[in-house]
């Protein structure tokens, strides 16, 4: 196979500051061993998230210059609305400032005490917005897919049997919606097949339950369908996305991912009555219906990004470059969630640092080592993020101790990724270490963002 190359050249550069290991040790100590509290200027390769961290194209920047900043009926809104209508086939399009604003509006209306939402996996903000209304969020990714090593093409699929059972158990009138997250961020960025969504549609039709597509990575998911699901190899990825979105009743998108912009969100739906309720909430919280939380230039850039993202050369590079990092790590003997998903590589830190006890946060130890050794910033998705305490203050660990290396879109070159791979040679030499970290401060909610830790001597 030929060398994978970036299908773009660089027109503007942002310098990266090179720091020493000694400098980074002090910076991390001052940040309470929590990379969320680091200054980005102290980070060399930032793999904290793929959300809002991408680089826009020259066409998008040119679009920024013609953004129409009129309060109502802006030309940039007309452009965005037309692109999103064509993509989704839905009649009602609402702009929001980011994904969670769309979630708050839609789930605020559909949710409430006694209601149940069922999803492959609810993303944290999705779950938080649902639980905030008093409703319950249930995850039902199918059983086999929970094995981090099993090689299956669509590990984001919903368990259809469980879906039927849950609907019967809770009563169809209490199921507020089924939400299909594509790709499934919380379980490794794994894709969902078209066949799975078609079956979910049928079940939703039988029980008259709305189907919501949480599609912030819909283009990446479409690429996986094109290359993994029978019958799609000759279908353009954009058409695959159109087919999938036409199966939904509503669509929520954090445009900070596959919208190829730094800020933005969308909420779209087929039902007029629902759209009227959503518009009322939009106006009192986000802004008028023709800008939501966005400026005209943001909407212009998003309208262009939503077309660019379906370029097959871009998508091939995107998926293959993420896989390149994951496959090379696996070759080195680093345990990774398999197969590699679309936007990130997930490392099994419990396996890699198997001498560090779970209550000393092996995932956080890996996150800290990657920063000190290489200036690489990433996030623990394990017991620091999801751990709870029992009545005696003993840690109830998370299911897995993962570390996510999320890849910003069109930002880093292959040599940056090769550098990350180099740093893992140092990490592999540290796998015998036995001591991790203890928490010295934690807030009551979402503790990973602001917790402070210290190294156990
Ligand atoms: N849904 C999914 C599947 C997401 O991954 C995210 C954000 C959201 C909704 C919320 O969107 O951030 O625009 O409000 N995921 C980011 C991440 C934060 O790092 O994975 P938002």
Range of the domain at 104: 58-308
- Based on the domain organization, do 185 and 42 belong to the same domain? no
Model pLDDT, residue 86: 98
- Based on the domain organization, do 213 and 351 belong to the same domain? no
- Based on the domain organization, do 303 and 400 belong to the same domain? no
Model pLDDT, residue 250: 98
In a domain, 289, yes or no: yes
Domain count, the chain: 2
Whether the ω angle into residue 339 lies within 30 degrees of 0, i.e. cis, is yes
Contact 358, 401 (CB under 8 A): yes
- Based on the domain organization, do 337 and 428 belong to the same domain? yes
Model pLDDT, residue 432: 96
- Based on the domain organization, do 182 and 208 belong to the same domain? yes
In a domain, 422, yes or no: yes
- Say which CATH number the domain at 122 has: 3.40.640.10
Ligand 1, atom 12, lies closest to the CA of 99
In a domain, 8, yes or no: no
Give strand pairing partners of 345: 405
Q: Find the 213 Cα to ligand 1 centroid distance in Å.
A: 13
In a domain, 451, yes or no: yes
Pairing, β 265-269 against β 92-96: antiparallel
Q: Domain boundary at 278, 308, 338, which?
A: 308
- Based on the domain organization, do 362 and 302 belong to the same domain? no
Residue of 46, 49, 50, 51 best suited for mutating to test ligand 1, as the one with most atoms within 8 Å of CB: 51
Model pLDDT, residue 124: 87
In a domain, 129, yes or no: yes
Q: Domain boundary at 308, 338, 355, which?
A: 308
- Based on the domain organization, do 82 and 41 belong to the same domain? no
- Based on the domain organization, do 193 and 260 belong to the same domain? yes
Q: Domain boundary at 308, 332, 360, which?
A: 308
In a domain, 7, yes or no: no
- Based on the domain organization, do 298 and 352 belong to the same domain? no
Give strand pairing partners of 92: 269
Q: Is the CB of 126 under 6 A from ligand 1?
A: yes
Measured torsion, CA atoms of residues 336, 380, 47, 348, in degrees rounded to the nearest 10: -10
Which atom in ligand 1 lies closest to the alpha carbon of residue 217?
A: 3
> Closest Cα partner for 110 from 200, 177, 180, 201?
177
Q: Is the CB of 254 under 6 A from ligand 1?
A: yes
- Based on the domain organization, do 304 and 315 belong to the same domain? no
> Closest Cα partner for 94 from 251, 249, 214?
251
Model pLDDT, residue 148: 87
Model pLDDT, residue 445: 75
Reported as a single tens digit per residue, the pLDDT across 295-321 is 999 999 999 999 999 999 999 999 999
In a domain, 15, yes or no: no
d(CA 385, CA 362): 12
Give strand pairing partners of 190: 184
In a domain, 155, yes or no: yes
Model pLDDT, residue 399: 84
Q: Is the CB of 49 under 6 A from ligand 1?
A: yes
Query: Per-residue pLDDT for the chain (457 aa), expressed as one digit of tens each?
Result: 678 899 999 999 999 999 999 999 999 999 999 999 999 999 999 999 999 999 999 999 999 999 999 999 999 999 999 999 999 999 999 999 999 999 999 999 999 999 999 999 999 899 999 999 999 999 998 888 888 889 999 999 999 999 999 999 999 999 999 999 999 988 889 999 999 999 999 999 999 999 999 999 999 999 999 999 999 999 999 999 999 999 999 999 999 999 999 999 999 999 999 999 999 999 999 999 999 999 999 999 999 999 999 999 999 999 999 999 999 999 999 999 999 999 999 999 999 999 999 999 999 999 999 999 999 999 999 999 989 899 999 999 988 899 999 999 999 999 999 999 999 999 999 999 999 999 999 988 788 999 999 999 8
Model pLDDT, residue 1: 63
- Based on the domain organization, do 195 and 266 belong to the same domain? yes
3-state secondary structure the chain: CCCCCCCCCCCCCCCCCCCCHHHHHHHHHHCCCCHHHCCHHHCCEECCCCCCCCCCCHHHHHHHHCCCCCCCCCHHHHHHHHHHHHHHCCCEEEEECCHHHHHHHHHHHHCCCCCEEEECCCCHHHHHHHHHCCCEEEECECHHHHCCCCCCCCCCCECHHHHHHHHHHHCHHHEEEEEEECCEHHHCCECCCHHHHHHHHHHHHHHCCCEEEECCCHHHHHHHHHHHCCCCCCCCHHHHHHHHHCCCCEEEEECCCCCCCCCCEEEEECCHHHHHHHHHHHHHHCCCCCCCCCCHHHHHHHHHHHHHCCCHHHHHHHHHHHHHHHHHHHHHCCCECCCCCCCEEEEEHHHHCCCCCHHHCHHHHHHHHHHHHHCEECEEECHHHHCEECCCCCEECCCCCEEEEECCCCCCCHHHHHHHHHHHHHHHHCCCCCCCEEEEECCCCCHHHCCEEEECC
- Say which CATH number the domain at 30 has: 3.90.1150.10
- Based on the domain organization, do 36 and 81 belong to the same domain? no
């Amino acid at each position: 196979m030929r060398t994978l190359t970036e299908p773009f050249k660089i027109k503007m550069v942002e310098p990266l500051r090179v720091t020493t290991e000694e400098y980074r040790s002090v910076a991390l100590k001052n940040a309470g061993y929590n990379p969320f509290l680091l200054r980005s200027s102290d980070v060399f390769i930032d793999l904290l998230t793929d959300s809002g961290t991408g680089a826009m194209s020259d066409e998008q920047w040119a679009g920024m210059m013609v953004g129409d900043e009129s309060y109502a009926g802006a030309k940039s809104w007309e452009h965005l609305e037309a692109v999103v209508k064509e993509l989704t086939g839905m009649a009602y399009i609402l702009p929001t400032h980011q994904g969670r604003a769309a979630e708050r509006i839609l789930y605020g209306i559909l949710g409430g005490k006694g209601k149940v939402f069922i999803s492959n996996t609810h993303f944290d903000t999705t779950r938080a917005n649902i639980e905030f209304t008093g409703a319950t969020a249930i995850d039902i990714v199918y059983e086999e897919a929970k094995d981090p090593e099993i090689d299956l093409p669509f590990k984001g699929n919903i368990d259809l049997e469980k879906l039927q059972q849950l609907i019967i158990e809770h009563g169809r009138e209490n199921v507020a919606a089924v939400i299909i997250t594509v790709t499934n961020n919380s379980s490794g960025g794994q894709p969902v097949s078209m066949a799975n969504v078609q079956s979910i549609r049928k079940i939703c039709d039988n029980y008259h339950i709305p189907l919501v597509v949480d599609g912030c990575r819909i283009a990446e998911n479409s690429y996986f369908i094109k290359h993994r699901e029978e019958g799609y190899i000759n279908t353009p990825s954009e058409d695959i996305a159109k087919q999938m979105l036409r199966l939904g009743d509503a669509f929520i998108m954090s445009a900070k991912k596959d919208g190829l912009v730094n800020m933005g969100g969308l909420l779209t739906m087929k039902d007029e009555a629902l759209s009227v309720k959503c518009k009322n909430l939009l106006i009192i919280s986000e802004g008028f219906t023709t800008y939501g939380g966005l400026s005209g230039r943001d909407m212009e850039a998003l309208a262009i990004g939503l077309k660019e993202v379906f370029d097959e050369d871009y998508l091939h590079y995107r998926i293959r470059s993420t896989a390149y990092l994951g496959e090379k790590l696996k070759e080195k003997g680093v345990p990774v969630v398999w197969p590699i998903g679309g936007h990130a590589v997930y490392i099994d830190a419990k396996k890699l640092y198997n001498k560090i006890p779970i209550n000393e946060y092996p995932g956080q130890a890996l996150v800290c080592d990657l920063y000190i050794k290489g200036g690489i910033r990433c996030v623990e998705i394990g017991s620091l993020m999801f751990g709870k305490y029992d009545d005696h203050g003993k840690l109830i660990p998370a299911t897995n101790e993962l570390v996510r290396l999320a890849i910003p879109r069109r930002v880093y070159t292959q040599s940056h990724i090769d550098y990350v791979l180099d740093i893992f040679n140092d990490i592999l030499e540290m796998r015998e270490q036995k001591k991790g970290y203890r928490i010295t401060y934690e807030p009551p909610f979402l503790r990973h963002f602001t917790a402070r830790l210290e190294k156990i001597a």
